[in-house]
Structure 1
Amino acid sequence: MLAYFRAGVTARVLGFLGLCLALGGLVGIWTIEQYQQVAEKLAFESAKRLGDFTGSIGTQIVRNGFSTLQAMSGFQRVQGMNPKDCSDVARFFLNSSLGYSNIGAVTPAGDLYCSALKAPHPVNHRDAVWFKRTMQTGAPAVGNFQINPVNGKQIITFSMPLKKPDGSIAQIIFASLETAYIESVIRLPSLPAGSTVTVIDQDGNLLVDHPAGSATPGENMTHWPIAARGASAATRFVMEGTGLDGSRRFYASTGIYARGALIPGIATQPTKSISIIIGVPAKRDIATLLTPLKASGAAIGLVFLLILTGTYIFLSRTMLRPIRQIHAAARQLRRGDFSVRLPATSRRDEIGMLSNSFNEMASALAERDSDLRQTSERLRRILDTEPGCVKILDRDLRFVDINRAGAELMCAPDIESVRGADVLDFVAEEDHERFRAHILSVIDGRRESITYQLVDCNGDRHWIESHAAAIRLADDAQHAYIAISRDKTEELKTAAQLVQAQKMESIGRLTGGVAHDFNNLLTVMLGNAEVLVERLADRPELRHLAGMIEQAAQRGSELTHRMLAFARRQVLRPTELDVNTLVTQLTDLIGRTLGEDVRVRLDTAPGLWHVSADPAQMESALLNLALNARDAMPDGGMLTIETSNVHLDADYAALNPAATPGDYVLVAVSDSGTGMTPAVMEKAFDPFFTTKPTGKGSGLGLSMVYGFVKQSQGHIKIYSEAGQGTTIRIYLPKSAEGTAVREIPEAVHETDVNGQETILVVEDEEAVRAYVCAQLRDLGYRVLEAPHAEAALAIFEGEDGASIDLLFTDVVLPGGLNGRQLAERAALLHPRLKVLYTTGYTENAVVHNGKLDAGVQLLTKPYRRADLARQIRQALFA
């Protein structure tokens, strides 16, 4: 056998050499093919990723279009269909948005009555695709390629109907987006050389062609197979095809749908709006990369053959026997016998060195084995000290290993009880398929993260965030799944509460911002309507119309006050308040208001702390809560009002970021009504949100309560369950110790409002100034007027200055001085001067943090004539 082995070494070496050369050739051929496949695969994956990315951009473009229309639809100035008011709002949105050619509205007949851009001639859109689709479906729609009839720009239009109470369309608002803007957003700087971007509308008409080719914007592209499939496909796809320029590319097509998810609060059937087609060159020619390898490969092969032949001759004569010994020892070593050693040798050649090296290697492996055992134990201890869950899964989705924190997260008694278990047994059923796909994707080599719901051994659910990668547990083993997971349940709850608080603050700033101008308008409307009602006593039909105007203005005033309350921009006149006394006095009124079917129970705590709050706003808040409770109990029930002293600690504040630790007076209003679902609870404080039928509520009741509590530095919380009733808890900060309750001064009697004093009226709004001056003159006062602070100071410095008894000034004035600064300058000239301020907005010089400065007299817009008369008289005698 040994002779055969020796005799066959040459043949074996030569055969091995031939085999190596043959394998080298096959490897070269295989490498070329692999290069080509890799190049194609990279192009395919690049097209797919770019398609997904541009799809998300397209989705954002469509979402922005409908979000703009939805925001615009909430303006009363649009809903009133007044061309000027609507055009002002449209112009605001056009100036505040990027890429839009025009924004406006049309009548159901298609006539353009509202436009951010002034049309040179009457325009009718009844033939526009977006108009027809909206009129046919009664839902938001997206049009086709179009030339803007106002400015001639290439556009695609988003439209949304505004409906009347009977469901018919009152008008259609639209936003025309320039195709050039779509191109500028979608044209990515990172596109591979030779790539193309094509955007078509839902009928296949060309919107964007980058780089510009032979096609013309607006041309129907369905003659191109790629565009034809992109226009008709319901899902994303990637395919190889020929472009308009004759080049082969991988094309990724993404259809952008207008659906309910893009238009929050509006349900609509999915409708394709645009399709985005990304083309990436399919590179195939790699021959130039292989040319320099051919000559060098032949030379290397020849040298390799010579070296191998010489090596074989040398080894076959001098090294066969010691190699067999080494081979036998190596087999023992492979079986785990780390004590095996070769006999000592005096040879100093390579064989001797190899033998010595083998013995050294055996010793090193013995030490390495000991180290590995210690390292394994050390790694286990490290994993067990990791606070997050570390788990390893195989392809069958079973646990290979897990650390102690993971076993504790799943409430398992020990690690061994988890090994071998199916991971899906600990995953919420609705997340099974998504989690399975995630694991298989990671095992295939991708690094991914996922958030899912874990169900522990007790049935409790936890939101888990996992960061995963593939791992080989052995060199010859298949990939397994390893992930580090953390329980994000409490963090997600806290984040959701923070987002809600930020959203409420943003909405508050928006609603508070319109109050100043709106209150000026309401002051003129309400005051003049009141005058008309009195002066048209002998003309009942006109007096009735004037009365309707007065009522509408009054309702507008109430709505503005509610909006300001929610926005935390109302003027508060806080006093040291005994909540028990206020609630007790209010109980009879609440009982009469709610009716006999609702019983009212009062549970007040003795020794209740005082709070600093506006009594009128506190009463209004409790009445709003009581009315909401009544509506939740259509068949009657029990309304309970409770008060108590409470302390909110740091743990409560950690779970409720809107709350600040400290001492509070709690006022809880509970009902036994229908309760709220979690979805309703999330939006309960949103302005204009209501579950009542149209016309049965403004949706500002709870919003006003929310604003009042927040402006009073308090906290509010809803506890509710469908069918089990609702409890709303108001926490108002405790006042300083020993502070006495202050009495509210009595107002001037209605009969004592006339006078003969001289009043200087400073008001920049001409209509408001004319109304106020007329009313004061009717009351017998001598009236001087000025449109701004500089003119007022000139009057004070003139011959009439000394005769002025009262300065009645708006706080917000044009020019360099506001009302507060004007009063201070005037007081230097006339120290005994009385001052009465007026304003329609609270962020000004006399109101800070929503509270009126001490010693300041303020008349809030809008106001009635009687309010004006009483406040003027009270200011003169203050």
Structure 2
Amino acid sequence: VDLQARLVDVNPALAERVGRKPGDLIGQPAAVVFQNWPGQFERYRGALEINEEVCLDNGKWVEVQVRPVHRPGNEVAGRLFVVRDVTAQKQAEEILKRAHDELEQSVAERTRQLSRANEELRRQVDERLQVEKALRESEDRFKRLFELSSEAQLILNQTGEVVDCNNAFLEMFALTDKSEVVGHRPDEFSAPTQPDGTSSTEMGPKIIASVLANGSAQFEWAHLKHDAKRTPILNELLLTLIPIGGQPFMHVAIRDITQRKHLEEQLRQAQKMEAVGQLAGGVAHDFNNQLTIIINVLTMLRMKMSVSDPQHSLLEMALKASEQSAGLTRQLLAFSRRQVLEPKVVQLNEVVANLQKMLSRLIGEDIDLVFEPRRPLSPVKVDPVQIEQAIINLAVNARDAMPQGGKLTIETGEFDFDQEYARSHADVVPGRYVMLALSDNGAGMDPETQARIFEPFFTTKERGKGTGLGLAMVYGIVKQCGGHIFVYSEPGAGSTFKLYFPPAADEADDHRPETTAGELDGNETILLVEDNPDARETTRLILAHHGFKVLAAADVDHARQLFAAHGPELDLVITDVVMPGMSGRELVNRFTAERPGLKVLYISGYTSNVIAHHGILDPGINYLEKPFSIDSLVKKVREVLWKP
């Protein structure tokens, strides 16, 4: 290449590389040769001397040498470019380098493996020495443990004969000396037959053969003590093949499970109760709810229908079938109640008063205990011990529902269930009842929880914090005492458990005279606010049947709309106490701000002392507690309307 970067001469190899004849390249710009790597050529344009290796864009490697060409007198006439393809050399060098690196890694890894193997070998040797020493010590320790163990144990040889026993075995079987056992076969201490009906003498050799073949066996076995009564015991046996002095023997561990089996039987019985509780809960929650509506509606239809009506007999058949269905539910709920009771005539006020100090300690200082007794109160015939247990269980349940503290209210009172109410509640007998109510202002329960609250083993507490038997026990106690129990609760509004017991039979009847049907009827306008659709419709039908004009609201917003449209014509507002969005008291306050003197009747399943902290039941407020019958509802409505 001359000083103007033109080709002066090229060899055939270069011409072949660029696809031209040598003669065609003479005089051409040198850039023709370097057209695939112009960036490099710019570096070479003024360089007189270069020696380097270059990686081209196509991945090939070339060695480039540039030398000056001199004229006589040492004047530079041009440059000599020599370009040589060294790709194969570079690839060989790379392969060699990788092989070298892999070899080094392999040698290093093998060295590590050998080091680890040597370490493991040393460890195994040390461990083997330790094991041999431990085995010698273990045999001595096993002998001591065998003798001192509180668990009955035997050592059998391969033929199944006893070669040794410990003192616990002698004690379990009422024996005095090892000579009564050693040399004998275990089936000599067995019951003739096992619980599954198989012969002990036939099963024994089969079990021995199984242990010798498989190394161990675990099973239950019926034995007889060597006492005067030949007391039967049920044991759990674990047979294990062990070496002693280099010979195979069988170690037998014997555990008395007689009491455990008894408890398991009790558990199976409890599980039966649980199954019945599941069924009864489902029937009571679904079937009885529907029956209540059916019976009440049929009752109201019967009240409107003449006895001479051809359809009257069909209506009576439907009522009878409904009541028989309710009776089936009652039988399910009464099933499996096995407590032994000692009923006495007692005063519930005295029972609660005697428990007050203990209950205060039981529930803790952060929970206020309030007792509101009714005086006078009719006595009841119940088992006082069982009733005390029921109160304690309910108090504990209330305490657990108020982990941050709160208020537990215990009240007594009397309540009348009439014929109409009894027909809509499967096992309620009409008449007067003495009521015991325990109420808390804790977390409350949703309808799903309430539907299962009395099921055996049902609990909402953490594992280990409750058995699920507390409320089931209360339910059984109340039922066996001839009483009834109801729970009223809403999430965030606390819970009330109401227990109803019939008064003692030898006490004077204190029934108040019944009000005649004519005195109950009316034509006033009533605004009914009830968020439960079934309760709302049933209440509306009862009131409408007695001549009242009823405006029924499903929620607070609907009630406010009805009040805005009919406020001046309203004679009475009947509202539930606890409702979503706004309490009944708050709703009434808005109404009375516009209509001072508007008469109001609150209905709720909560006792007044508990919901008072919501500001709902101040002195002088009219209140009807759930559950209420047709007569009690209409009587209370008439009472409120007649008040000045």
TM-score w.r.t. length of structure 1? 0.34
Q: Which has the larger radius of gyration?
A: 2
TM-score w.r.t. length of structure 2? 0.44
